[in-house]
Amino acid sequence: MIRSNYTYSGMSISEHDFIVPLNYNDPDGEKISVFVREVSMDRSSAKDLPFLVFFQGGPGHESPRPITNSGWIKRATQDYRVLLLDQRGTGRSSPVTFQTMKGMSGQRMAEWLQQFRADNIVRDAETIRQALIGTEKWSILGQSFGGFCATHYLSFYPGSLETVFITGGLPPYKAHPDDIYRRTYKRVEEKNKLFYNTFPDAHDHAQRIAEHLSKHNVQLPNGDTLMVERFQQLGLQLGFSDGMATLNFLLESAFAGQELSYSFLKSIMSLQGFDTNPIFTILHEACYAQEFATNWSASRIRKEFPQFEVGYEDNFYFTGEMLYPWMLDDFQTLKPLKNAANLLAEKNDWPILYDEKILSVNKVPIAAAVYTNDMYVDRDYSIETAEIIRGIEIWETSEYEHNGLRSDGKNVLDLLFSRIS
């Protein structure tokens, strides 16, 4: 149903709410809502354009908000009506937070949260497609984890798709997260080295902060304790085009005299959404799981990389997109989710996400951007997946980091759209 319509900044916006089953195997059971924002150019001919559905990265992050008519959204609306899907559990779609799950047992919470993976996100999209356009096809664009969703869509509902575009998100179609994280830790180490070579003072700043945290009980503005390990998680920024500079400028102004400044501590909170977007923390490893348990893979594999231990050979490395069980103790608002998170880490019967047989006979036009130096989605695994998808057009580039769609969306889409005509 359409909630509202309005126009601003040269864009026509329509807001939709859809009611879908929490569990598609129990269609008459509990329901949740999924929110979609439709964006088109403010012109009479826009209503005749086909739909392009955007799947956001994450998992667990809402779709971007069209604050200005710019970037990839402006380019996409030249050819499409863009549907910005708030994936189930995010944004304005029945959000998953410690507050909305209050009162649930750990077991009930785990049963509930397991319904928020890519397979059900795609089922939601199919429900929405049928409600909006019936049997007609539409196109999809998947960024990062959104590309995982797009590949699942291509595996299970290819007849619904006109074209598929993926940016930095061709998934490892069968790799175990243990092997994925072995590669990831190596890439993050290289990003640390590049960071310190680019910003010569950053290493000393980082070490001084780490030493201070190891000797003092430092609290963030919300009362959480800032442990060294949580400080290391700022390395999540190192894979973005603007991330290294952002981190450098944060480190250089960390101290107010002999203590860490309030602005520094507040900035850390603003850069870490592990507690405001808990699906990312709880289900990140599960987005790789297919008929096996992950058992906190990143935490286990870290033991193979002692260089990430604080003080190792008088060095300091930030970590990257790794999630750890200690977070369920150190983040206050994640504590209520601890039992559920551990149960999900032990779950060993996750459904298959990709169908190699279907992908090998694919007939849907598909173009994908693969970023050679991507810190989050391994280039080699992406190429392996591309090799089994019939007819895929690959554009590999070292010009962009993982956030190429955000940093230079017009050019990225121009190059992808040109590969499918």
* Per-residue pLDDT in tens (0 to 9) along the chain, 421 residues: 667 899 999 999 999 999 999 999 999 999 999 999 999 997 777 788 999 999 999 999 999 999 999 999 999 999 999 999 999 999 999 999 999 999 999 999 999 999 999 999 999 999 999 999 999 999 999 999 999 999 999 999 999 999 999 999 999 999 999 999 999 999 999 999 999 999 999 999 999 999 999 999 999 999 999 999 999 999 999 999 999 999 999 999 999 999 999 999 999 999 999 999 999 999 999 999 999 999 999 999 999 999 999 888 788 999 999 999 999 999 999 999 999 999 999 999 999 999 999 999 999 999 999 999 999 999 999 999 999 999 999 999 999 999 999 999 999 999 999 999 6
Which one of the listed residues 12, 93, 144, 299 is annotated catalytic? 144
**Contact predicate 130/161, CB 8 Å:** no
Which one of the listed residues 152, 203, 284, 402 is annotated catalytic? 402
Phi, psi of 155 (to 5 degrees): -80, -35
Looking at the structure, tell me whether residues 109 and 249 fall in a common domain. no
- The DSSP annotation for 86-121 comes to E-TTSTTSS---TTTTTT--HHHHHHHHTT-SHHHH
d(CA 173, CA 384) in angstroms, rounded, equals: 8
Closest CA to 173 of 118, 127, 120, 124: 118
How, if at all, do strands 31-41 and 51-55 pair?
A: unpaired
pLDDT at position 2 is 62
Closest CA to 124 of 137, 115, 113, 133: 115
d(CA 41, CA 78) in angstroms, rounded, equals: 7
Q: Which residue has the tokens 């050979």?
A: 313
Q: Is 16 a catalytic residue?
A: no
Looking at the structure, tell me whether residues 22 and 34 fall in a common domain. yes
Looking at the structure, tell me whether residues 340 and 368 fall in a common domain. no
Looking at the structure, tell me whether residues 113 and 154 fall in a common domain. yes
Residue 288 corresponds to which tokens in the numbers above? 């790789």
Looking at the structure, tell me whether residues 51 and 187 fall in a common domain. no
Phi, psi of 240 (to 5 degrees): -105, 155
Looking at the structure, tell me whether residues 302 and 186 fall in a common domain. yes
Q: Is 144 a catalytic residue?
A: yes
Q: Is 402 a catalytic residue?
A: yes
Does a cis peptide bond (omega within 30 degrees of 0) precede residue 50?
no
Residue 243 corresponds to which tokens in the numbers above? 């991330």
Strands (E), 114-160: 138-143
d(CA 358, CA 354) in angstroms, rounded, equals: 9
Tell me, yes or no, if the pTM score tops 0.75.
Answer: yes
Looking at the structure, tell me whether residues 204 and 163 fall in a common domain. no
Looking at the structure, tell me whether residues 86 and 127 fall in a common domain. yes
pLDDT at position 313 is 79
CA dihedral 19, 24, 25, 31 (to 10 degrees): -30
**Domain total of the chain:** 2
Q: Which of 346, 362, 379 is the last residue in one of the domains?
A: 346
Looking at the structure, tell me whether residues 235 and 329 fall in a common domain. yes
Taking each continuous run of H as one helix and of E as one strand, the counts in the chain are 17, 11
Looking at the structure, tell me whether residues 103 and 20 fall in a common domain. yes
Looking at the structure, tell me whether residues 236 and 105 fall in a common domain. no
d(CA 153, CA 268) in angstroms, rounded, equals: 36
Q: Which of 326, 346, 366 is the last residue in one of the domains?
A: 346
Which residue range forms the structural domain that includes residue 63?
2-173+353-417
Burial 107-127 (b: 16+ CB within 10 A, else e): eebbbbbbbbbbbbbbbbbeb
Looking at the structure, tell me whether residues 163 and 304 fall in a common domain. no
Which one of the listed residues 26, 201, 349, 380 is annotated catalytic? 349
Q: Which residues pair with 19 in a beta bridge?
A: 33
Q: Which of 284, 315, 346 is the last residue in one of the domains?
A: 346
pLDDT at position 1 is 61
d(CA 257, CA 259) in angstroms, rounded, equals: 6
> Alpha carbon 206 to chain centroid distance?
26
109: domain CATH number?
3.40.50.1820
Instruction: Count other C-beta atoms under 10 Å from residue 222's C-beta.
Output: 12
233, burial (CB in 10 Å: exposed 0-12, middle 13-18, buried 19+): buried
